[in-house]
Structure 1
């Protein structure tokens, strides 16, 4: 559990209470078939009482490993994700504020949601990844393989037939 005890902070306006956690992807329930987070996932930040709410802000540091969808290379990516959310004890607040009771702020759901929402839908090693040659399977990021990869546009087939008749 990622609980922050705010008992000593309570209503001490503007005072920052630092926190630090190291959790595994399994403990955070941040598991996927498409990628893996290396352990530990580091979460650091501060809690500040703002007068009506407690603002929790900080960052998540994680290393993501995955196989590139285009070139099938094993990849390792260091990520840092920032977060800042408000917590309140008043349940009459709007849905954008997290509600808690007692002296413990549980930030586990917020951390998991922040981490998972930040992941791209496709796992690609770099934005300009060239992928594999459809004929021989060579990784085109390592240079050209020499295969003729020209694929004629099927919409131009009728024009190609006219050119062949001449």
Structure 2
């Protein structure tokens, strides 16, 4: 559990209370079939009483490993994700973006998991301009051109191709 005890912070306006956690993807229930988080996931941040709520802000540091969806290369990526959310002891009718809690413990585990998972791209690609694999011979085109003829005629032009062949 990732609980931040705000008892000593009380309602001291503007005073920062630092926190730090180390967890794993399994403990956060942040496991995917498409990628893995390697090693520990570090969470650091502060809690500040703003006068109306407690603002929890900080960063998540992790290492993501995955297979590129275009060239099938094994990839490793260091990631840093920022987060900032408000917590209140009472549900405000006007604000839906505030997390409600009781007592002196803020449970930030769900927020951390949601931030981590929402920050992952929809496709796992080693770099934005990845060239992928040659559809003819299977060579990784990022490592150089293989020389294969990869021209695929547009099927909509097949009738015109037939006319050209008759001449």
TM-score by length of 2: 0.97
Match of 2:33 in 1: 33
TM-score by length of 1: 0.98
Match of 1:54 in 2: 54
CA distance in 2, matches of 1:52, 1:99: 12
Question: Offset at 1:39?
Answer: 1.9
Question: Which runs of 5 or more structure 1 residues have no equivalent in the other structure?
Answer: none
The RMSD of aligned alpha carbons is 0.7
Question: CA deviation digits over 1:8-50, x for unaligned, max 9?
Answer: 0010110000000000110011000000001200000000000
Match of 1:42 in 2: 42
The correspondence of residues 9-28 of structure 1 with structure 2, limited to 5 A, is 9-28=9-28
Count of paired positions: 166
Match of 2:82 in 1: 82
Match of 2:98 in 1: 97
Q: Secondary structure at the match of 2:70?
A: coil
Does the aligned pair in 1 maintain the 2:91–2:98 contact within 8 Å?
no
Question: Which runs of 5 or more structure 2 residues have no equivalent in the other structure?
Answer: none
Match of 1:122 in 2: 123
Q: Secondary structure at the match of 1:116?
A: helix
